Structure 1
Amino acid sequence: MILMLVCAFFIGITRIHVRWINRRYECSRWMIFSSLLLMAIHYFLQMCYGFRASDEDVGAVVNILVYLPCFTLLAMAIYNIEATHSNRKKMNLICAIVYAAMLAAFGTGYCITGTLDMGVWVYVMLAIFFSNMVYCIYMITTEIIRRKKILETMAANDMQPFMRYAHASLALLFLSALIVRSPFFLPSHYI
């Protein structure tokens, strides 16, 4: 929780040191800030209410509900910087629809079971979550390749600094996907 708050603080405070404001970069900054703040709130609620300690299934459901928008905000922040066309709106719309589907699956599972220990509905939520992860990573990867080709055509100089940034962003997104997939995320009988 403290790490997320510190990272969110640094991202928020760096706004003061910006000389020339770029709307897309600022939008990405605040998406990352929101994602980190949401994760910090999630960890705080985990400590206060002990979802994971009370039951592994309940902890898995709460984690899925919070990690999906956090992961999506991070992915959309990266894509927002990479993409220069209207596909940003399409990706935002698809991610919003996916989260609506996740909430619908959660609501259906909760209504049927009457508890957060939803049984098979956790698998439905996991399928939605991982399909969103695959979609976001695919969109970012294709946009990085597309942007590299455009910039190589337009510029005669070295593209290594841009490619390092793009690949580092994607590596961090993959790392967060692997961390979310770790045994700490789901109960052992779901893995």
Structure 2
Amino acid sequence: MYDRWFSRIPGWIGQHHSLYDLELSVQDVYGDDVGILSQLPSLVRLDLHIHGVPKDKIIIRGRGFPALKHFTVGCFRISYLAFEAGAMPKLERLELCFNAQGWDRYGGVPAGIEYLSGLKEVIGNIGGRYAKGSNRRAAECALRDVAGLHPGHPVSNIKLMGGRYVFDGKYDEPREEEDGNSSA
């Protein structure tokens, strides 16, 4: 499924109970689309890239993703992601890819990260292109804070990138003359 993306999470994926590793790019996530993936009993690694701007919260329900150990999510508004108690009980590595642009209006770390009881590592890849300096710093600090306050004290690896994520598995590198300090 490389170089392809779906308009939304296809329902037929839920029939593939032996899926172990999945990279999925979608335009939008609606209602309980993530619930389709959360019921896959063998899924250990999931890379989910959401091209569109979520209109509603993306909630990872309790008891969802029983085997998942590695979760990467790329999304314009990472604050729309939330974890319920009991979700992803075996998750060890959470990687969040998002842009700092607009953090002052839409920013915020995903709610409920403290419920990810097995979490050992939080990775943050923050695109800084077109973002105000204050937004870049706020996004970076917020991720460091949430990792530092997690009861399991996961290792945090937060990187502020010079480019911008476009959420199709690509990272838009800045041109040499750009300093990333302009705002859109």
For the criterion TM > 0.5, the same-fold answer is no
More RCO (CA 8 Å, sep 6+) = 1
Which protein is richer in strand relative to its size? Answer: 2
TM-score by length of 1: 0.28
TM-score by length of 2: 0.29
